[in-house]
Amino acid sequence: MSKSYRVAILGATGAVGTELLELLESRNFPVRELKLLASERSVGRSLRFKGEDLPVELVSDRTLENLDLVLASAGGSTSKTWAAVAVEKGAVVIDNSSAFRMNPEIPLVVPEVNPLAAANHKGIIANPNCTTILMSVAIWPLHQISPIKRIVVSTYQSASGAGAKAMAEVKTQASAILQGQQPVTEVLPYPLAFNLFPHNSALNNLGYCEEEMKMVNETRKIFNDPKIRITATCIRVPVLRAHSEAINLEFENPFSPDTARKILSRSPGVKLVEDWERNYFPMPMEATYQDEVLVGRIRQDISHPCGLELWLSGDQIRKGAALNAVQIAELLVEKNLLKPEKTYVSTEK
């Protein structure tokens, strides 16, 4: 990484945006110049980067000029408005929203899984959904040994997936309940403190919510395997910033738990966490602020000879969003792919 780059964070004051800022510094990404961009309500704030207070600027045609890289985490509508502008001005956009993930012309990348897909970018690379990233990192090494035929996943998703305001709301609700008061809900549809509920994204005509269908469709795209059968149930739980997932895998052939442990113990982005005597396995509290996806409780599915069960916890803000985006950026730098080789192709379908 001998070169340095002009970088912008779009959505710099949000939970993922501030994590991106910290990761660029802690991982020593080669930043020559850094712009912090956000909506009008955040203008006037400043954030610290490498000992310097940087102002938050309004995203505009002007502030998107003369950039090499834009790390976007400001929501789908904002990305649809500004990603094309940034690319037309010469930048590569790594987008954390759902705006471009299923566009066939735009790579959807998890560096531990499909790094070669990044080479096909035309200016935009999509960051997958948090639950999809965590699951992909954990099961891809096993899929490489024996193809997975079917995935049944249940998620236990933290408040951070709904943003910094949702995290603050859970804390306020917990305090209110402990004082015998009624919890107030403004960000989330129902009280989350001391409670849980199915993910509140829109339902389709089959009864699956958007979050569940993201896991289905994104995993198939990342694995480049449309034949994998996937079903998901996504639940919001009273945890601040780390998701957990219970995953049942059906392989073409029997897959022993010991073999799975050996593979995952040396797989990138994974940390094996198992102590059967203590009944100690991955927990969201211990996954918080960790780069690795914690995987454990690997066991044979007693209902199917080719079935395997595993459990994981991973930091939603970090590997589930910001870290994956920075890793994509590092991959582009390493492979000299930061400049788009082709002109921007419209993402409107």
Binding-site annotation, residues for phosphate:
101
Paired strand residues for 198: 235
The H or E element spanning position 245 is strand 242-251
Alpha-carbon distance of 39 to 11, in angstroms, equals 8
Within 8 A by CB and 6+ apart from 328, the residues are: 94, 109, 111, 118, 125, 127
Orientation of helix 257-265 relative to helix 130-145, angle to 10°: 110
What is the SS3 assignment for 7-72?
EEEECCCCHHHHHHHHHHHHCCCCEEEEEEEECHHHECEEEEECCEEEEEEECCCCCCCCCCEEEE
Does the annotation count 199 as an active-site position?
no
DSSP string, 165-197: HHHHHHHHHHHHHHTT-PPP-SSSSS--TT--E
CA angle 297, 155, 239 (to 5 degrees): 95
Does the annotation count 130 as an active-site position?
yes
The secondary structure of residue 211, as a DSSP letter, is H
Q: Which of 121, 130, 199, 234 is catalytic?
A: 130
- Of 321, 135, 140, 109, nearest in space to 244 by CA: 135
Q: Which of 121, 199, 234, 243 is catalytic?
A: 243
Instruction: Report the binding-site residues.
Output: 13-16, 41-42, 101, 157, 160-161, 210, 236, 316
How many beta carbons lie within 10 A of that of residue 277, not counting itself?
Answer: 5
Tell me which amino acid residue 304 is.
Answer: H
Instruction: Report the binding-site residues for NADP(+).
Output: 13-16, 41-42, 160-161, 316
Query: H-type helices in the chain, by residue range?
Result: 15-26, 76-88, 130-145, 164-178, 210-223, 257-265, 284-287, 323-334
Provide the greatest CA pair distance for the chain.
60
What are the b/e assignments for 77-102, b being 16+ CB within 10 Å? ebbeebbbbbbeeebbbbbbbbbbbb
Active site residues: 130, 243
